[in-house]
């Protein structure tokens, strides 16, 4: 059977400011929604190093720093780019339709 994927509307564009990510829940998954310039990104909210909410971290452009131990992630690729985070964080496609942001989960 083909795998189902679904898009869900998660926020208005003006709710997501650069440097002020917001947490949304899609299909029971906690997702951190971020803006860099005019682009939007979605990653798992849970840090891959230990228990921490990435949405509470500091964002600089496409890099998000975990608030707990300072691990850093690329919000576009999910790659862990700074110790002590090594495992990548999952990313999700984001689509903008006029004033609404949609995230795809599978
Ligand atoms: S919990 Fe995120 S770097 Fe440790």
pLDDT, residue 97, reads: 96
Average pLDDT, the chain: 95
Sketch the domain layout of the chain as residue ranges: 17-96
Class of domain 17-96: mainly beta
**Angle, CA of 101, 104 and 106, to the nearest 5°:** 160
List the beta strands (DSSP E) in the chain. Answer: 6-12, 22-26, 29-36, 39-44, 58-60, 63-65, 72-74, 80-82, 91-92, 94-97, 100-105
Q: Which of 43, 45, 46, 50 to mutate to test the pocket of ligand 1 (most atoms within 8 A of CB)?
A: 50
Give me the phi and psi of 13, to 5 degrees please.
Answer: -55, -45
Mean pLDDT value of segment 12-18: 97
Indicate whether residue 52 lines ligand 1 (CB < 6 A). Answer: yes
Q: Is 84 in the pocket of ligand 1 (CB under 6 A)?
A: yes
**Model confidence pLDDT, tens digit, residues 83-97:** 999 999 999 999 999
C-alpha–C-alpha distance, residues 85 and 7, integer Å: 29
Question: pLDDT tens-digit profile of 41-58?
Answer: 999 999 999 999 999 999
């Amino acid at each position: 059977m083909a795998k189902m994927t679904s898009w869900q509307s998660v926020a208005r564009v003006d709710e997501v400011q650069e440097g002020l990510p917001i947490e949304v829940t899609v299909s029971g998954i906690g997702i951190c929604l971020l803006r860099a310039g005019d682009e939007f990104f979605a990653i798992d909210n849970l840090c891959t190093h230990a228990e921490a909410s990435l949405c509470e971290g500091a964002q600089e452009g496409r890099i998000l720093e975990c608030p707990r131990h300072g691990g850093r992630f690329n919000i576009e690729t999910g790659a862990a780019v700074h110790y002590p985070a090594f495992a990548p964080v999952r990313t999700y496609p984001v689509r903008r339709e006029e004033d609404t942001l949609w995230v795809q989960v599978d």
